[in-house]
Every structure is written in C-alpha cells, then in structure tokens.
Structure 1
C-alpha cells in the first residue's frame, strides 16, 4: 500500500488560491476514482474537485471557509501500489492541525529527490495512469484544447504543465498529477474536449489508476528515456543549491547572462499571474531562475531578477537596416476565445439583417452638466461621470415608448421575448478579446450607481474575474470606442438582441445655430437594428428620442 497526495490544481488563469467551500468526504472514507471530494471557489466560479485515484482518505486539509494555495496538499489517500508520496511519511491523525500536516520546503526537496531516483520506463511496474479532464468551471461540460506543452514519450514530473484548455470564462493550465512517461495524448489544439474524458495517459511506477496493460505501448528507449531531460534536472539543481535561483538584490550585482538551466524553446514553469507580470515588465521567463517546485518561477523570483537588472532579451544581432526587405509569411491559427468571438460575430451577421441608423447629437449642454456634477461629486467622494451613464439613462427612457427594441428574437422558434428590465450590455475590449459584461437593471440606477457598475463589470471582464452571470443576459448593448470612436461605425448586434447603440467620439464642430455659426460639442450616434423586428421608422424614432434627451439632459430624470 502507498500514499497518494492530491494537491489543489490550478483552477483558473491568474488564480493563486481557492476557498474550500464544502467537503463531501471525511477521514476513513473509501472513495472511487472520479468521486466528488469537495467544492472550492475562486473569484470566477465554484469548482468540484474529484478524486484522481481510488483509495481510503487518510487526511483532508482545510476547513470550509479557509483558503488553500494552488499546489498545496488537499487530500491524502492510502492506495494500492506505490502512490506518489514517500512511504515513510506516516499519516497524520484526523484531529491534527492543518499547519502541522505539511511543510512546503521539505515537500520541494522530497520531489527533487524522487525525481532523481525515478526509474526508467523499462524499470517501472507497467502501471498505466489515466488523467481525465477535470471540471474546470461551474456548469462547464467541455473545454477547448488550446495548446500541448508535452509530447508522446516525454518524461514529466508531478505539477509539470501539460496543456492549456479554455472555457468561456478563462484559459486554464492543466498540470500533471503524477510523475511518469507520456504514452498517449488525446485531442488536437482547437478541438473541444468533454469534462471527464481521457486527455493524457502515463506510464508510472506502481499500479497506476487503471489495472491491466496500458492502452498505448510505452515509447521505445531513446535519448529522452536514457538520461534525465533538462526539465528533470531542474528541481534537483534547485534542491542542491537553494540560493542559486535567487539573484542578489543589490543594485550593483548583475545577473549572469550565461544562465542556461533551460534549453532553447523549453517552456519555463510559472503561474498565469507570473506570466502576465513578466509580459508587462518585458521580461522573458526563459532567462529567469525558478525556486519553486519543479523549478516553477514565483513572483519573488521575478522581482529578484528585475532588481538585479536582468531583462532576459536575447542579444540582438545588430546591423539591420530599417529599410531592409521583409520576406516570408506567418500563419496564425484562430483558436480559443478569438475563435468564439469570430463565430459569434459571423452568426450575428448571418442570421440578422442589419439596418444602421446614424444621427449627430449636440452634447454641449450634456458636457456642461457632466462637468458641473463631477466638480460637485469630487468633493463628496462620488465617482467621476463619463458620457456612458447618460447614454444608458437615455436608452432606458426611450425604451419605455418602444419596448419591442428591448427584446430577444428566437428566429428558429419564431418567438420575440420582450423584457421589462433593462439589462445593459457594455461591449468591452479585454486582453482576451471582446466581451460584453452586463449592467443589470439599468432602469433602477442613478448616474453614479450606473457609472460604478459599468466600471465594476468592465474591470472584472478585463482581469478575468467576471462570473458567468455577469457576461450573459443583456437585453440591449452599448458599444463605445471612447476617444477612438471615429466619426461613424456600423455596430454588429449582439445576438439574440435586436438593437445595439454605438456612440462615437465627441469633438468640437462649427455648426449653424439660430442663423449664426457657432462652435458646439457634437457626437455621432451609430446604431444597428434587426430589420426583421424593427422597421426603419421605429429605429429613427428611437434614436431621435435619445437625441432629444441628450440635448436636453434635464429631461433624463423627468417623469
């Protein structure tokens, strides 16, 4: 019998920890593979943790309401075979305090030692370990495989990055639950994979988690199996010289440029949050030493590297001319969120016959009111108002006379659903592409509350923390390019809605007013409508109503 330690996996891009919500097992329970263990919650969703093995629960770590770090032990099992933990580690009593159960540093050293002692595939007992796609988000039945980071025949260590998969919420990095040799990969980048389906098969020491012969034969001995790979050497180096990964923080010390713990093209291990910071700092993680398990790069490693003056950029060959001829082409496969955006846009244009209506609006009075309110609100600590809360209010008021425009149209069933509440979609550009977070019940919000909610849901969409319900359910959408708004554009309707309103940039223009040329602040309003539901006359009436409200902003809150 052996001990198997199940660690909290990376349950979302940028997520460093998760809250334990509820345990479904207790110490002493016998569980089967894929049986529900517990619920954990991130800032994105509640995720169900299922058992990767069959066995008896020896320990559970964390009480409901407590935070658990990604990579920390969650459940310890007694299993048939060797397991994945040292045999001499005796199980802790059920009443033991969580702090006394595991220490991070010894665990790193144990992993490094185990890595050095791992036998070659031919010396293993022939156990086959099947890794299935876990539930990567509440209500998610499948995920799209974005990229493989390993290949058949590769030796991988526990917690090593295997693949990136994407749901409609975020990109998730899948890490290996065991150490072993990859004998089969299931799925191609760009293809959807069902939750619970097999994605990787390993040959491991011991019995594995599937009895009998492996479905796929182990790879023939090669240079990869005859000697440890650079990835396998990395943790051992870290354990033998704990000070090596951390460069000195003194201003005069420089990081040696000859840092070569990774081969060219080898992907360094790091969390999505660390990768994002590195991109923002312009640092190539390829050159940053990692001090975490399996050589994983931490925030502290990145800080130390930057403090030492390291940049990580490959030396430039120099001598190139800015007028040199360019050759070749680059093909980029559209997958992940960008493909979903493309499919949704194509569906909207294919299914909806658009009519676009553009009108110019004199927003001089509106801008004067906005400046006045911002001056007063600054002293009172109220949020700064831009033009969007006023446009949102104008839409709410205009929809009272034309509720048909606040609708969803199911063209397959031939049913139009009119909504009493105005759930306003705000098209937002995020690092992952275009998203539409939703301001719910815009009809019940004053301009300050509307401004706060627009900022909140847009910010959540941009940093990836938006919940599913915050990214769906809009009944009409505003799309604004802000200062880049141009003179006019043709917005695409957010299916199954029937209208979208797109303000353009505000600029001063010379206009004829009361027989005199005057300078006014003008803004074009570009709007599109589903011509199957909204006639041209109704579209014009709706936009003219918005125009009148914005040109006389006091009427926005009258009646």
Structure 2
C-alpha cells in the first residue's frame, strides 16, 4: 500500500491562499477517482476539489473555515501499490459562484434572538420537557406516587443523582400549580437553555466581509419615495393577458429595469463605479443592471448586461434565466460580475422601508418594497391606489443628496406615467 498526498492546487489568477469551505469526506472513507473531496473558496468563486485517485482517506489537512496556502497538504489517501509517498495537486473544478453583497440587511441577516442569561443551577425549576417516549429515572414508589397524583413524570425535573425524579420533585411540581390538564401547555412554556454555534465560513464569510467592507468604505445615505404603481400594474396585467401566452409573463422587474435605463440618461453619475484608492470615478454608457437573487448558498447578483438595448420581454427572459442559474449554482463568473447599478427587491416581503447596502464599487442601489393598496386623495376624491416605496442607497462621496432625490423622482415619474418609458 502507498500514500497519495493531494496538495492545494493553484487555482490561478495569482491566488496564493484559499479558504477550506467544506469537506465531503472524512477519515476512513473510501473514495474513487473524480469524487469531490472538498470545496474551497477564493475571493471570486467556489471550487470543487476532486480526487485524482482511488483509495481510502487517512488524513485531512485542515478544518472548514481555515485559510490554506496553495501547495499545502489538503488530504492524504491510502492507495494500492508501492509504499512510496506520492504527491499531486488535485484538479480544481470551478463552480463559478462568486459572492455579491447587495441586498437589504433584513434579508441577508435574520435578526438574532437575544440570548437570555443562564439562571444559576440551584434555581432550576422542577418542570422539564422530555420526548414523549423518553423514560425518566424514578423509583417504583415515585412512579406510583406520580400516577396517583395524575402527573406525567416526563414533565418533572429530577433533582436526584443523574436527574432521578424524587418525591420532593413531585411536591415541587404540584406547588407550582401544574396539573395533568395543563401538562401540554406546561411543556410549551418549559425553560430552554440550549445553544448553537455556527461557524461563519465559506459563502457566508465572504458575504459578511463584503458587507462590512461596503459599509466601512462608502458613505451610505438612503432616500425613500412613495410611488403610485396603479397605472403600470394595469399595463402589466394588460400585456400579460394579450401576450403572456406567446411572449411570457411580465413581472414588475423589467419595467423597473426600463425605468432605470431611461432615468440614467439624465443622471449618468448614478451609473458609475468609484475607485476610492485611485480616486477615479468611471461613468459608463452601458447599463449593466445587477439583480439581487437569494440562493441556497447565499446572496448572488446576476447581471443583466446592456439593459439599455433590451425590450421588456428580453429583460424579463434574461432576469428569469439568470435567477434560475444563480439559484441552481450554474451561473458563470461573467454572469455574476460587472454590474454598474443594482436593483434589489424583497418581493411580497418587501416591507415599508429598507436600507440596501451598496455593491461596491457601484455608487447607487435601488431597493423595491412591496405593493399595497391604500386610500389616496386624487383630485379631491379618496380612491384606492396601488402604492409602492423605493428605498434606495447612494455613496455620498460621489452622489449629492439633491441628485439622488431627483434621480428617484425621475423614476417615479416614469413609473406613474408608464407611456413615457417608451417615448424616445
């Protein structure tokens, strides 16, 4: 038997180290050639590391979350043949799934429940929730006593050795006013002291780093405006009824993309990237719209390239294609990079107001909140209208507040008078 040592491969692009994101094998596993051993993450992509040999895993070279240098030992595999030590760099299969950070914090980080302080051990109450089939420790006499009192023994916290339930525990349980009739409710209100620690690695670590970098480097400010989308929703419904079967259904997103394209003609400073190290602002004629998309592995932002040259249905088809590719982990690196301005929407969960985080080096991100029906005063009459807020953020180092407000007002005018979206 021999040992085949697989080293961290050179993934290219001048990368000297990568993060070990996940193991797909453990010591003792038998692996075959081309079986994926681990996932590693660079600044731009998630990469599969397959096995070049058949054999048995005898040692792992790192732990998930560890940053490893190219050329360091990744894994050792026992193989058939001579007892010589063989070394190789495993081939790398790029999954093409880079991280992009732009999305409302309400989506990217769910509010963490505040951790309640642990009570002292001597203050533990007599009630405890056990599984229905879990048999608590208790003597026959205690079990009979509990039966006579109508107490479910599994709900009583034992104070004896190894959690054994004693007669005193039954009395303490009764003293708290618990009864068999209230047992189900008692279980629901039982104290909990469990904790779970989740290591921030892989895609989640990259998202965290990019979010932190964006908020530390850019001077964020947000601007919120209310928009009457009744007319454009009526237009969308009409187009779907007339052309939906042949051209596909339209969501609101392609209309928003079109509104961005038209508004940016008068506000080119929003379609820009800022290199804060070189102190250079680059304004772009092409409008490459990033559309924030949530996937199982984290937030991604596929890019609708040259939105200025696309029709409504072309934009709709491209948004759908890119979103599906991102969610399935099949989007290419080019499809997930190069945006000039970003559109982020929480759909039905959009809330009233949000504060999107910029996707550096971009200087603007437009956030879409949910559509709600509200009574509004129109020409002196109270009518029901469909209303939606735009919650957008800008880099104050590059964008002045007045320009940001005028830009969003221009988008508002286009959406409230949808015919102007198509007037050249």
Q: What TM-score, normalized to structure 1?
A: 0.55
The 1-side partners of 2:418 and 2:367 are apart by 19
The 1-side partners of 2:37 and 2:251 are apart by 45
Report the equivalent of 1:352: 218
Give 2:411's match in structure 1, choosing from 520, 523, 546: 546
Offset of residue 382 of structure 1? 0.9
Offset of residue 402 of structure 1? 1.2
Of structures 1 and 2, the one scoring higher in RCO (CA 8 A, sep 6+) is 2
Deviation per residue, 1:15-52 (Å, 9 max, x gap): xxxxxxxxxxxxxxxxxxxxxxxxxxxxxxxxxxxxxx
Give 1:185's match in structure 2, choosing from 57, 60, 65: 60
Report the equivalent of 2:352: 487
Question: Equivalences for 1:98-137 in 2 at 5 Å?
Answer: 124=1, 127-134=2-9
Report the equivalent of 1:263: none
CA contact (8 A) 1:156 1:176 kept: no
The 2-side partners of 1:461 and 1:147 are apart by 20
Offset of residue 365 of structure 1? 0.7
Offset of residue 149 of structure 1? 5.6
Deviation per residue, 1:496-519 (Å, 9 max, x gap): 000000111111111111112111
CA contact (8 A) 2:221 2:393 kept: yes
CA contact (8 A) 2:39 2:46 kept: no
**Does residue 517 of structure 1 match 2:382?**
yes
The 2-side partners of 1:138 and 1:465 are apart by 21
CA distance change for structure 1 residues 481 and 208 in 2, over 3 Å: closer, same or farther? farther
Give 2:290's match in structure 1, choosing from 425, 445, 452: 425
Offset of residue 340 of structure 1? 0.4
**Does residue 394 of structure 1 match 2:259?**
yes
CA contact (8 A) 1:499 1:528 kept: yes
Give 1:334's match in structure 2, choosing from 187, 191, 200: 200
The 1-side partners of 2:408 and 2:63 are apart by 47
Offset of residue 200 of structure 1? 1.8
The 2-side partners of 1:157 and 1:411 are apart by 48
Question: Equivalences for 1:99-248 in 2 at 5 Å?
Answer: 124=1, 127-134=2-9, 143-148=18-23, 154=28, 156-158=30-32, 162-167=37-42, 168-170=44-46, 172=48, 174-175=50-51, 177-180=53-56, 182=58, 184-207=59-82, 210=85
Report the equivalent of 1:111: none
**Does residue 503 of structure 1 match 2:379?**
no
Offset of residue 208 of structure 1? 5.7
> SS in structure 2 opposite 1:401?
coil
The 2-side partners of 1:547 and 1:155 are apart by 59
Question: Equivalences for 1:279-290 in 2 at 5 Å?
Answer: none
The 1-side partners of 2:222 and 2:355 are apart by 6
**Does residue 452 of structure 1 match 2:331?**
no
The 2-side partners of 1:185 and 1:458 are apart by 36
**Does residue 439 of structure 1 match 2:295?**
no
CA distance change for structure 1 residues 414 and 328 in 2, over 3 Å: closer, same or farther? same
**Does residue 362 of structure 1 match 2:228?**
yes
Offset of residue 141 of structure 1? 6.6
Report the equivalent of 2:339: 474
Structure 1: runs of 5+ lacking an equivalent: 1-123, 213-271, 273-314
Offset of residue 326 of structure 1? 1.5
> SS in structure 1 opposite 2:48?
strand
Deviation per residue, 1:455-493 (Å, 9 max, x gap): 011110000000000000000000000011011100111
CA contact (8 A) 1:503 1:525 kept: yes
Offset of residue 128 of structure 1? 3.6
The 2-side partners of 1:208 and 1:529 are apart by 62
CA contact (8 A) 1:353 1:530 kept: yes
CA distance change for structure 1 residues 549 and 176 in 2, over 3 Å: closer, same or farther? same
The 1-side partners of 2:80 and 2:303 are apart by 50
Structure 2: runs of 5+ lacking an equivalent: 88-94, 96-130, 135-153, 156-186
Offset of residue 543 of structure 1? 0.4
Report the equivalent of 2:91: none
The 2-side partners of 1:440 and 1:169 are apart by 20
Deviation per residue, 1:322-379 (Å, 9 max, x gap): 3332122111111010110111111100000111000001111111111111111124
Deviation per residue, 1:85-144 (Å, 9 max, x gap): xxxxxxxxxxxxxxxxxxxxxxxxxxxxxxxxxxxxxxx4xx442212346799977542
CA contact (8 A) 1:478 1:502 kept: yes
The 2-side partners of 1:181 and 1:527 are apart by 51
Q: May I ask how many residue pairs the two structures share in their alignment?
A: 330
**Does residue 325 of structure 1 match 2:200?**
no
Offset of residue 450 of structure 1? 0.5
Report the equivalent of 2:423: 558
CA contact (8 A) 2:293 2:300 kept: yes
The 2-side partners of 1:552 and 1:132 are apart by 61
